A = this chain, B = another copy of it.
Amino acid sequence: MTRRAAIRDAATRLFAEHGPERVTLKQIADAAGVSAPLVVHHFGSKDGLKQVVDDHVGRVFDDLFAEFSEHPELLAAPAGGASLAELLTRHLPPDSPVPAYLRRLLLSGAPEGYRLFRRWYELSLGFTVAMHEAGVLRPGTDPVALTVFLMADDLATILLRDHFADVTGVDPLSAEGLARWGEQALSICRHGFLVDNEEGTE
């Protein structure tokens, strides 16, 4: 691996973990085994590096989305709804900094974050619309509203993973969590969770 790539990767991990503001060029350089000025030499400035990392992470998702567009069966897996979060977790090594970086990207207001979210949305919407046209959805379902609903749930699992793990004792993206979660989610997708109080009166 080229030194340039080593710097980029070290920065990705450190940015994801502590946020770019808290990370110094020296820390990045040390983690990559180089000197601080070399970082500037390769990326122009700290800001330049940040942008390169943003783009790079964006590209990881592009690849994931592209792969999924070509092989939608990857997803049709356990749960009824489209869980890109699950797919992402399976796709990346367990210690990947990408999920944590995604958090920052979505919540920092960075342009790459908005681009990424939009692509995610369009992919999800396409999937929902396809289900709609295939007649798998209950009549009267609004595909846009449903997409928002499903995406919110999906992304929250990534964004709040640590909190859910802390509170329930189960990492929602571990095998155990996915099982327990997926079963319930599928049931909700099919029937909802409320007793249908109109059944008796109709």
Chain B residue nearest to A122 in the complex (CB): B167
Which of A4-12, A56-64, A149-157 contacts the other chain?
A149-157
Chain B residue nearest to A162 in the complex (CB): B109
Is the Cβ of B149 less than 8 Å from the Cβ of A185?
A: yes
A64 to B155, CA, bound (A): 25
Is the Cβ of A106 less than 8 Å from the Cβ of B163?
A: yes
Which of A25-33, A35-43, A91-99, A135-143 contacts the other chain?
A135-143
A158 to B19, CA, bound (A): 21
> Of B21, B167, B192, B194, which one neighbours A19 at CB under 8 angstroms?
B21
Instruction: Give every chain B residue within 8 A of A185 (Cβ-Cβ).
Output: 149
Q: How many copies does the complex hold?
A: 2
Q: Mark A138-177, 1 if CB is under 8 A from B, else 0.
A: 1011101110110111011101101110111000100000
Asked if A187 is at the interface (CB within 8 A of a chain B CB), the reply is: yes
Within 8 A of B (CB), among A106-140: 106-109, 113-114, 117-118, 121, 135-138, 140
Instruction: Give every chain B residue within 8 A of A198 (Cβ-Cβ).
Output: 190
Instruction: Give every chain B residue within 8 A of A151 (Cβ-Cβ).
Output: 156
Is the Cβ of A156 less than 8 Å from the Cβ of B152?
A: yes
Closest CB in chain B relative to A113 CB, distance in Å: 8
